[in-house]
Amino acid sequence: MMLRKPSFALIMGFLVYNTAVMAQGVYPERPIKLVIGYPPGGAADFVARISADQISKEIGVPVNVENRPGVGGAIAADLVAKAAPDGYTISMSGPHAQIKALFPKMALDQQTDFIPVTNLASGSMIICVNPNEPYKNLQDLIKFGKANPGIIFNASSGNGSTPHLATALFEGVTQVKFTTIQFKGGSPAAVSTIAGNTQVMIATPPTVMGFIKNGTLRPLSLTSAKPSAAIPGIPSAEESGLMGYNSTFSYGLYFPAGTPAIIVNKMFAAVAKGMTQAGVKQKLASQGMDLVLSKSPAQFQATLTAEAPALAEVVRLSGAKVE
């Protein structure tokens, strides 16, 4: 019986397939870039650097954090979406549904441009004032703000940032009108409030926890409706008498669309093991955040999909604008 010779196309297809499998099998062979759309010094940067360190220990290569701040995280998201889907570029960001709602003209979509890996951490923000201001509690701030629209200067960490969105939502719920000054990150916003150039700011915990402890900023309330175990001693929005207000943040890991499942699963396993090592949860709690890992990439995707309409509605109701 005569055997037919395999075609050239069949041989090349077999070689390409095996090369891809072999490449994935030894992944990673070089450093991984973790891109975040926020400047150094804030909550995202803190979570990213802890995560990068833990992932590196588990996966065997350096994981280097690259800060690409600007436009509410959209610059970094666009960079990662266009990166090669080879496992060497990964992003950490808040839910992309929020970015999409704030930037409807941007051609970025959670469902088509990214592969979610896992959630990492979540938390409440803190409403702070300069300690020389007369506001002793949140109701003092609301009462004065409603009676004097535009008089209170608010320091925001940038257009489209989570604190910006939380501030816009606060104004919508309370009918307080701030004069908001946009800064390039939470750190310069905090410096402005400490100096008295602005009077109030809403910030992620790592940005202001040190200032709260040394008395250079006074916390009035959390932005979450319920208390946070990671931030004891500061009342929640409901405990402060503000009903109907709830603003929190979360960060997760994402690969570009097209990244092979074997790489996604290997990264998920590294995160699941690394982030549950002794001391990691305590490090996050020290900065007012909770460790919240997904059970699987599929479960993270399902959560993001379920939450997307609510996030878009919050952006709409808040009236947040990104210019």
DSSP one-letter string for 32-58? EEEEESS-TTSHHHHHHHHHHHHHHHH
Residues 32 and 45 occupy one common structural domain: yes
For residue 323, what pLDDT is reported?
Answer: 57
Q: How far apart are CA 288 and CA 274, in angstroms?
A: 20
- Structural domain boundaries, residue 308: 9-122+249-318
| 64 and 27 housed in the same domain | yes
Residue 261, burial from CB neighbour count under 10 angstroms (0-12, 13-18, 19+): exposed
Q: Please, how many CA atoms are within 13 Å of residue 321, restricted to the half-sphere of its CB?
A: 3
What does each of the 323 residues of the chain score in pLDDT, given as a tens digit?
444 555 544 444 444 444 444 444 589 999 999 999 888 877 889 999 999 999 999 999 999 999 998 776 788 888 999 999 999 999 999 887 777 777 776 666 767 899 999 999 999 999 999 999 999 999 999 999 999 999 999 999 887 788 888 998 899 899 999 999 999 888 899 999 999 999 999 999 989 999 999 999 999 999 999 999 899 999 999 999 999 999 999 999 999 999 999 999 999 999 999 999 999 999 999 888 999 999 999 999 999 999 888 888 877 776 766 65
Q: What is the pLDDT of residue 240?
A: 98
- In this structure, is residue 237 part of a structural domain? no
Instruction: Give dist(CA 220, CA 217) in Å, integer.
Output: 10
Domain count, the chain: 2
Domain-located, residue 209: yes
116 and 183 both lie in a single domain: no
- Establish if 291 belongs to a structural domain: yes
Q: What is the pLDDT of residue 9?
A: 47
Cis previous bond, 62, omega within 30: no
Residue 263 CB: number of other CB atoms within 10 A? 21
Q: Share the mean pLDDT of the chain.
A: 88
Residue owning tokens 């800060």: 67
CA–CA gap between residue 143 and residue 85 (Å, rounded) = 52
Q: Please give the Cα distance from 259 to 41 (Å, whole number).
A: 30
Do 261 and 190 lie in one domain? The reply is no
Structure-token pair, residue 54: 């833990």
CB atoms within 10 A of CB 196: 12
In a domain, 193, yes or no: yes
Same domain? For 117 and 253 the reply is yes
Return the bridge partners of 290, or none.
122
Write the DSSP symbol of residue 287.
Answer: T
Kindly give, in sequence order, each residue whose CB lies less than 8 Å from that of residue 193, ignoring residues fewer than 6 positions away: 128, 129, 130, 155, 199, 200, 201, 217
Pairing between strand 200-203 and 32-36? unpaired
